[in-house]
Structure 1
Amino acid sequence: MKKIIFIILLSYTILISCEIKTEKSAIALQTDFGRKDNAVSSMYGVALSVDPNLKIYDLTHEIPAYNIWEAALRLDQTARYWPKGTVFVNVVDPGVGTDRKSVVMKTTNDYYFVTPDNGSLTFVAESMGVEEVREIDEAVNRLKNSDESYTFHGRDVYIYTAAKLASQQINFKQVGKSLGTNITKINYEKARFENGKFFANIPILDIQYGNIWTLLPRKLMLDNGVQVGDTLNIEIYNDGNLVWNGDIKLVNTFGDVPEGENMGYFNSELNFSIAVNMGNFSDKYKVYSGPKWSIEATKK
């Protein structure tokens, strides 16, 4: 009797184990394609042809055309909120068809990123850590009969590989040869506190409202004597040239200052940001974002 019970329990354990191993991962897409044509829907079709039971979601398809920097930022802002094991596909690929590598990066916390290796992985590599990068072997991980297509790797290579990986038709090692932990990175001003002054990059705008988002962490500022209610002198530079200088008060939220007044606050990523309450700081002062935009802040 005990032997029979043991066999039943062992069989059940094996069955459960098999179910766990065959559980599919979600696919999340980011591109600069927009929705005006069939590009995104074609990628959906390829993925569902690999496995009709896959779950596919959109991060955004409104990355500005060719803007690798913004693609890198949006991936990092979004990926951490998805379940572990999610397979992200990023197709912002101005170098499509050239010798830039097509890769899958696995992070140390078990996320996968399928993308051209063109700098798009800069921020997720820093925030999540790189376990390993593999170059996609297009001899086996490419849509059938697409060899003569050179300009739509999003459809022919990336979503196809992602779908095979998410559905567990291939494992990570079967993506292609290992590249170790090496990826292409974009250089930018790293956040730091030095000689009484804070330095950081301005990576992106809160586009709808024109607020200026920086990579200056709340913790770094609080740890170095800044608190809500303080006044800060702000200098904003583009490629080393001063664009704007002024004093602002650090507050908790927009309603803490009168309408039309400049303000500093910590955004939803818990980084220092600048805004005009009920206005557009970017438009008003011609301040924008990217790897060459930076901020310096000093407590008064």
Structure 2
Amino acid sequence: MSNNLLVLQSDFGLVDGAVAAMVGVALQEEPSLKIHNLTHEITPYNIFEASYRLFQTVEYWPAGTTFVSVVDPGVGSKRKSVVALTESDQFIVTPDNGTLSYIKKHVGIKAIREISEVKNRRENTEYSYTFHGRDVYAYTGAKLASGHISFEEVGPALPIDAILELPVVETSFVDGAVCGAIDILDVRFGSLWTSITREDFYVLNPDYGDRFEVTIYNNDMLVYQNQVTYGKSFADVRIGQPILYINSLYRVGLAINQGSFAKAYNVGVGSNWSIEIKKI
């Protein structure tokens, strides 16, 4: 089932040798592996972001691909190390710390196994507790991707319902408005990606060119309120103007044409950042 493809994600950045060490460990296990990077620029310690970026990416890779995601603020603690087999027959090697939340909800998980750190850990690393990305995850990921071990040989099966999941904000409808959270940024361009799906937004019967009142709160503090046009793409409004649109994941996005909405209005992400959209 494995296809020799290994995709790495972390919050390590590329300023030192951490990622290169993971790649080296994988290539020591199997020099013919094709290793790719999802991203290593996850905001440090941000498990939700790691979960979202996996969800954003995995469906574009072939069945049999192995993903290693290491955003692990609890490294060295009692949190489990696991491999998930997704409904689309891909492996995700990661700490059980919430990273699998979006995959479980939106892709589906068939089975989970706990990594046996006695068998599936690099030799002579048992006294190092702070670089499991290199010693456990890259190593196990490489063994799986190369077919040197089977999924069953990873370690004992765990109940899928037992994995740690991050709380999610459910979409709601209040007084003719659809309400959700600002999940994440389209980082480079500063657009906001919300938790509101296309289907839920379409309860408001939008047409391209319609205007909506958009309100953003940080907890209970009003951060932004304005009338915004709903468009098909950014060019549907003048440069510098805001636009509502459906993003590549079929969720409502909020952007400024050729500008950064996040920087312009100092908007952050997470469950404490709520957004309401109401037809005018």
Q: Give TM-score scaled by structure 2 length.
A: 0.95
Letter in 1 for 2:106: S
Letter in 2 for 1:173: E
Is 1:119 the counterpart of 2:92 in the alignment? no
1:226 maps to which residue?
206
1:62 maps to which residue?
41
| Contact kept in structure 2, 1:117 and 1:184, CA below 8 Å | yes
Structure 1 stretch displaced more, 234-243 or 138-147: 234-243
CA distance in 2, matches of 1:85, 1:55: 13
Deviation per CA, 1:51-73: give whole Å up to 9, x if none.
Answer: 11111111111111111111111
Deviation per CA, 1:3-34: give whole Å up to 9, x if none.
Answer: xxxxxxxxxxxxxxxxxx6x633110001111
Is 1:94 the counterpart of 2:73 in the alignment? yes
Determine which of 166, 169, 177 is the counterpart of 1:197.
177
| Contact kept in structure 2, 1:198 and 1:297, CA below 8 Å | yes
Determine which of 93, 104, 112 is the counterpart of 1:133.
112
2:125 maps to which residue?
146
Question: What is the percent sequence identity of the aligned residues?
Answer: 45
| Contact kept in structure 1, 2:3 and 2:65, CA below 8 Å | no
| Contact kept in structure 2, 1:69 and 1:291, CA below 8 Å | no
CA distance in 1, matches of 2:180, 2:34: 38
2:240 maps to which residue?
260
| Contact kept in structure 2, 1:234 and 1:296, CA below 8 Å | yes
| Contact kept in structure 2, 1:188 and 1:292, CA below 8 Å | no
| Contact kept in structure 2, 1:189 and 1:200, CA below 8 Å | yes
CA distance in 1, matches of 2:100, 2:223: 29
Q: CA RMSD in A?
A: 1.5
Q: Following superposition, which runs of at least 4 residues in structure 1 exceed 3 angstroms of deviation?
A: 192-195
CA distance in 2, matches of 1:283, 1:293: 15
Q: Which runs of 5+ in 2 are unaligned?
A: none
Letter in 2 for 1:176: G
**How many angstroms does 1:297 deviate by?**
1.0
- 3-state SS of 2:178 partner: strand
Determine which of 249, 268, 278 is the counterpart of 2:229.
249
| Contact kept in structure 2, 1:209 and 1:279, CA below 8 Å | yes
1:187 maps to which residue?
167
Is 1:210 the counterpart of 2:194 in the alignment? no
Structure with bigger gyration radius: 1
**How many angstroms does 1:193 deviate by?**
3.6
Deviation per CA, 1:128-156: give whole Å up to 9, x if none.
Answer: 11111111100100001110110000000
| Contact kept in structure 2, 1:203 and 1:214, CA below 8 Å | yes
CA distance in 1, matches of 2:193, 2:3: 36
Q: How does 1:148-187 map to 2 (within 5 A)?
A: 148-181=127-160, 182-187=162-167
CA distance in 2, matches of 1:227, 1:221: 11
1:109 maps to which residue?
88
Letter in 2 for 1:71: A
More strand by share: 2
Letter in 2 for 1:142: R
- 3-state SS of 2:77 partner: coil
